[in-house]
Amino acid sequence: MSKSYTNVDDEKLWETFVRESDEVAFEILYKRYYVQLVRFSWRYSKSKAVSEELVQDFFAEIWENADLLNLTNSIRAYFYKAIRNSSLNYLKHKKVREKYDPEWMSMKKETVMPEIEDKFREEKIREAIKEAVESLPERSRMTYKLHRYDGLTYEEIAEVMGVSVKTVESQMTRSLKILRSQLSYLLPLLLIIVA
Amino acid sequence: MELQRKMWVLIQRYVTGNASPEERQVLQKWIDKSRDNEQVLREIEKIWKMTPEENFETDVEEAWRQFRERINQKSTEKTVKQIQTVRKTYPKKSNTFVYAMRAAAVILVILLAGMFSYYLGNNNSLSDSIAEKSEFYQMQEMVTSRGEKAKVRFSDGTEVVLNSASSIRFPKEFKGSQREVYLDGEALFKVAHDASQLFIVHAQGARIEVLGTEFNVKGWEEDGKTEVVVREGKVSVNSNLSELSDESEVILTKGYMTELIKGKAPQPATKVDSNYYLLWTSGGMHFDNVPLQKVFRDIERRFDVNISVERVDILDVPFTSTFQYAELNEVLSVIAASLGTDYARHEREVKFY
């Protein structure tokens, strides 16, 4: 029995696993999402070990209860949503959540003009962008990263974050606005760099 | 310069790749209007594109290896748990009476073929081919005592719930074109579909052939007959006597049953409510016009008791009743009431007057 799964979409793989107990289908789904999900969880937990454990727990659970899960929509959104829940749950229990930046926390307005040497210019700019992204309000930051790094659609992000697509869009709009004003000192440099 | 909110949304959609062709056109017109506009768009595009990847690495292969280990451990736990859960559905105690529950015993039976290959010893080619066969014939047996039930899962994924005082023999691994098992007692089969391997249940005098379906077989040697009810799919029931085969075959589909008395051809199929015939799997009991003698045998096996009667003539009295969840005392009382008599129980001994 040699089946090729390379280009099979998530939903088909899941269906194959549930219907035929096909472990290869599960393995492919697992390997397709393990790193992404651990990284996503890590954005919340800030601990790689914790995130790895949460993701393993999650996969073990869906492995065991596969036939009980009625996954018809985006499998990916379901995965992310579950990991978001368990990560937030972890934070709640760790009682570190209140230390976490609340929604729309006041932004650091002071921006110090970094010294930019020519040869490190691009690197420095990326560093500055990264810093600015990290200082976005939590939910906006998560949304930004889910779209930028994880490639989730706005619909999927809405499902994962438990908000409307409209909210996702306005978070994205606002994030870009904030990033531009945060990085205003870099703007002249930005345009001469070929990205 | 403060941009309009509407423009910001368009820029956002464009930069993130979510803009429609129409929106892109609107945006194009907007940047054509002024250099400043264009600059704003390019700045934001750069910010989006230059957002660096997060520095994150983890070993997915190692994670998968650990995951497999964990799952394998869990699945053994699960099998044991399932058997315990099934046993828990029995009443633990009833008034003065505590039912003893014993663990279902799995007995490995190595049949004669295995012995042969041992005897033939050094004759290589011959012993090899027999060894191959002997492995094929290596049978396992699951046996339940009275008062027990058990769940078995075969190598092909087929699941069997085994009723009390029953036994089933099955090969360690199904090979060849047929999956054959041997049943004495009652069991519910959920056969894993495999068109290339016929599944065959040998019960008292019956040979039941299926491809993949769910059905109940009730056939204790002491009862001398076999009852087959189909819950899902399609099965073929035949006598196991070769001279009776072919013309005596009865095909059962969903909701149909047949009865077969040892040595005879099966009865024509009749429509039934299969749920009644599967009540035992969830702790219930169902009797539809069954002579008390047979009812008593069911009770004896289920509750691990011995029933005796003072008046032998009651054994032929037909009994009809359904218990969603059967408690020994309740079942006995209902029978006594239907007979207009009384019963006495002392531990495992029950007597009807």
Is A39 close to B66, i.e. CB distance below 8 A?
A: no
The lowest-confidence range among B29-38, B40-49, B119-128, B281-290 is B119-128
Rounded to an integer, the average pLDDT of A84-98 is: 75
Q: Per-residue pLDDT averaged across B308-327, rounded?
A: 87
Query: What is the 8-class DSSP label of residue A96?
Result: -
Q: What is the pLDDT of residues A152-161, one digit of tens each?
A: 999 999 999 9
pLDDT at residue B174 above 80?
A: yes
ipTM: 0.73
Chain B residue numbers with beta carbons less than 8 Å from the beta carbon of A55 are: 63
Judged by CB atoms closer than 8 Å, whether chains meet at A39 and B56 is answered as: yes
Half-sphere exposure of B91 (CA within 13 A, CB side): 17
Domain boundary among A67, A98, A129: A98
Is the per-residue pLDDT at A39 higher than 90? yes
Give residue B339's pLDDT band: very low, low, confident or very high (50, 70, 90): confident
Helix (H) or strand (E) segment spanning residue B199: strand B198-203
Q: Do A133 and B60 touch (CB under 8 A)?
A: no
Sign of the alpha-carbon torsion through A47, A48, A49, A51: positive
- Give the domain-ending residue among A30, A64, A98: A98
Same domain, A24 and A78: yes
- Tell me: pLDDT of B116 over 50: no
Q: Which residues of B278-303 are buried (b: 16+ CB within 10 A; e: fewer)?
A: bbbbebbbbbeebebbbbbbbbbbbb
A159 and A84 co-located in one domain: no
Cα–Cα distance measured from residue A186 to residue A192, given in angstroms and rounded to the nearest whole number: 11
B60 beta partners: none
Q: Which residue would you say has higher pLDDT here, A8 or A87?
A: A87
- Spell out the domains of chain B, with CATH numbers in brackets: 5-49 (no CATH), 178-278 (2.60.120.1440), 279-352 (3.55.50.30)
In a domain, A93, yes or no: yes
User: What is residue B138's predicted lDDT score, i.e. its pLDDT?
Assistant: 64
Confidence of residue B122 (pLDDT cuts 50, 70, 90): very low
Q: Is A149 on the interface with B (CB under 8 A)?
A: yes
Look at residues A98, A128, A156 and tell me which one is the last residue of a structural domain.
Answer: A98
Share of chain B above pLDDT 90, in %: 12
A105 touches chain B (CB under 8 A): no
- Is A161 or A102 the better-scoring residue by pLDDT? A161
The alpha-carbon gap from A94 to the nearest alpha carbon of chain B, in Å, equals: 23
Tell me, yes or no, whether A169 lies in a domain: yes
| pLDDT value for B144 | 83
Q: Does B65 contact A at CB distance below 8 Å?
A: no
- Residues A15, A44, single domain; the answer is yes
Spell out which residues of chain A touch residue B71, defining contact as CB-CB under 8 Å.
60, 63
In a domain, A111, yes or no: no
Residue A127 in contact with partner chain B when CB distance is under 8 A: yes
Q: Residue B168, Cα to own-chain centre: how many angstroms? A: 14
Q: Is A112 among the domain residues?
A: no
Q: Is residue A42 part of a domain?
A: yes
Nearest CA to B94 among B285, B345, B281, B351? B345
Predicted pLDDT of residue A30: 94
The CATH number of the domain holding residue A179 is: 1.10.10.10
Is residue B78 predicted with pLDDT exceeding 70?
Answer: no
Per-residue pLDDT at A187? 72
Most confident range, picked from A135-139, B145-149, B152-156: A135-139
Of A30, A64, A169, the CB nearest to B64: A30
Is A127 domain-assigned?
A: yes
Q: Which residue of B has its CA nearest to A184?
A: B43
- Residue A37 sits in which domain range? 10-98
Say what the pLDDT of residue B2 is.
56
pLDDT at res. B82: 42
The long-range contacts involving B15-20, CB below 8 angstroms and separated by at least 24 positions, are B15/A176, B15/B41, B15/B44, B15/B45, B15/B48, B16/A147, B16/A148, B16/A172, B16/B48, B18/A154
Are A94 and A14 in the same domain? yes
Distance CA(A19)–CA(A78), nearest Å, equals 19
Give domain status of residue A3, yes or no: no
A92 and A129 together in one domain? no
CATH code of the domain containing A42: 1.10.1740.10
Tell me the nearest-neighbour CA distance from B8 into chain A, angstroms. 6
- Residues B267-315 have pLDDT tens digits of 888 898 888 888 888 888 989 888 999 999 999 988 888 999 988 888 9
- Asked if residue A139 and residue A87 are part of one domain, the reply reads no
Nearest CB to A191; choose among B13, B15, B43:
B43
Q: Does B51 touch chain A (CB under 8 A)?
A: yes
A133 has pLDDT over 60: yes
Per-residue pLDDT tens digits for B50-62: 888 887 888 888 8
Under an 8 A CB cutoff, do B70 and A60 touch? yes
pLDDT higher than 70, residue A123: yes
- Give kind and range of the element (H or E) at residue A101: none
- pLDDT (tens digit, 9 = 90+) per residue, B224-271? 889 999 988 888 888 877 565 566 788 888 889 998 888 788 888 889
- Asked whether the predicted pLDDT for residue B87 surpasses 60, the reply is no
Kindly determine whether residue B15 and residue A179, on different chains, have CB atoms separated by under 8 Å: no
| 3-state class (DSSP) for residue B353 | coil
DSSP B313-335: GGGG-EEEEEESS--HHHHHHHH
DSSP string across B12-64: HHHHTT---HHHHHHHHHHHHH-HHHHHHHHHHHHHHHHPPPP-----HHHHH
One domain for residues A64 and A134: no
**DSSP assigned state of A66:** G
Q: In what order do the strands lie in the sheet with B349-352?
A: B306-309, B349-352, B343-346
pLDDT of residue A100: 45
Domain count, chain A: 2
Same domain as A173, residue A137 = yes
Q: What is the pLDDT of residue B244?
A: 56
Two tokens, residue A18: 């549930």
**Pair A86, A18 in one domain:** yes
Nearest chain B residue to A31 by CA: give it: B60
The full length of chain A comes to 195
Beta-carbon contacts below 8 Å between A and B: 98
pLDDT at A111 over 80: no
pLDDT at B155 over 90: no
Can you tell me which residue has the tokens 């009384």? B342
One domain, residues A68 and A39: yes
Instruction: Name the residue in chain A with its Cα closest to that of B38.
Output: A191
A26-30, A168-172, B265-269: lowest mean pLDDT where? B265-269
Asked which of B1-10, B25-34, B48-57, B184-193 is least confident by mean pLDDT, the reply is B1-10
Same domain, A93 and A122: no
The answer to whether residue A69 scores a pLDDT higher than 60 is yes
Q: What is the mean pLDDT of chain B?
A: 77
Is residue A83 a part of any domain in this protein? Answer: yes
